[in-house]
A = this chain, B = another copy of it.
């Protein structure tokens, strides 16, 4: 690849590839009759969310209120699922304000959270839609049994200001049967109690092409598919040519023929291994490994001469694209490998 006339390290987004990724997965979901609700954590850029919505997505997913606030700051986004337990007066107040601007639903996995939502929305014109988060094996948030799910559903149904909207899970990888079985059982219990389960929200990138194995799902939440990354390449979910996000770096040192150092370290690539060894893939140099990172240095090693020269640019596909987006205030959009725009990452660093 030719040298790009931009500063390094920079996060570069190939818009042609990103748009193709959006279209391809939307077509897959359309074919299954599954709603697609992209998680914006991967890009954190309203313009890209709008491309996802224009392609047919039914709304977006955000993880934190501040992320949602940033995503709607430019207008054009009106349906958000917030997949996080919201707690505390300040956050609940902001959630109420957010609900006055967009069609909003949230998740909850405990009664403290549900009571806080009810107290905050008890006098709202429209009740807040609450999905119950189920732990189908990922050992993160979520009730751990269908019976517990039913208990929370009944609490939601009983309390003012909120309404039960369905079930949501952050699913473990490669456990379709277990996920489907948990959610089917919970759904049956809830329906037997006289309540409808409008939405069953599933998701995850590694299993994105196996969504059909969880037929109980009505909606698929997914983030990374727009950019893809090394972890998805390694899992066979995509190929190098499908990766829209790369870090453009410069070789700053070649201490020995078999070692080189680039100007992208953990402040650019992050230390997220995503279960892999090495910190990214050097495009065009399959025999190189990014062995270790300091904050501003990436140390490349090889059992043969690296073939890299001081001053040369390299493109790195990171292990995990989402966490890289969070490191930078701006990315560079390219088309046909030419820079077309410097784009602020509007929802970067929004953890509140």
Contacts and interface: CB of A to CB of B under 8 A. Distances in A.
Interface in A300-336: 310-311, 322-323, 326-329
A101 interface: no
B349 A328 contact: yes
A90 interface: yes
Contacts of A254: 110
Contact of A87 (B271, B295, B310): B310
Contacts of A9: 351-352
Contacts of A267: 323, 326, 349, 351
Nearest to A39: B295
Interface in A278-317: 294-297, 299, 310-311
Contacts of A64: 296
A352 B271 contact: no
Task: State how many copies of this chain the complex holds.
Answer: 2
Contacts of A135: 255
A89 to B, nearest CB: 10
Interface string A172-187: 0000000000000000
A272 B41 CA distance: 20
A295 B88 contact: no
14 contacts: A8-B88, A9-B351, A9-B352, A63-B295, A63-B296, A85-B253, A87-B310, A110-B310, A140-B297, A141-B255, A143-B255, A271-B272, A271-B323, A295-B322
Given A261-B140, A267-B326, A110 B253 contact: yes
Nearest to A252: B85
A139 interface: yes
A26 B87 CA distance: 43
A139 B109 contact: no
Q: For this complex, into which size category does the number of interface residues on chain A fall?
A: 35 or more
A88 B142 CA distance: 50
B256 A144 contact: yes
A41 B294 CA distance: 11
Given A84-B252, A266-B323, 8 more contacts: A9-B351, A87-B311, A109-B255, A139-B259, A141-B253, A270-B270, A271-B271, A271-B272
Contact of A109 (B110, B112, B253, B329): B253
A323 B299 CA distance: 18
A227 B136 CA distance: 39
Interface string A258-278: 010101101110111100000
A141 B143 CA distance: 49
Interface in A62-87: 63-64, 84-85, 87
Given A295-B63, A310-B112, A323-B267, A141 B84 contact: no
B87 A250 contact: yes
Contacts of A143: 255
A2 interface: no
A351 B22 CA distance: 30
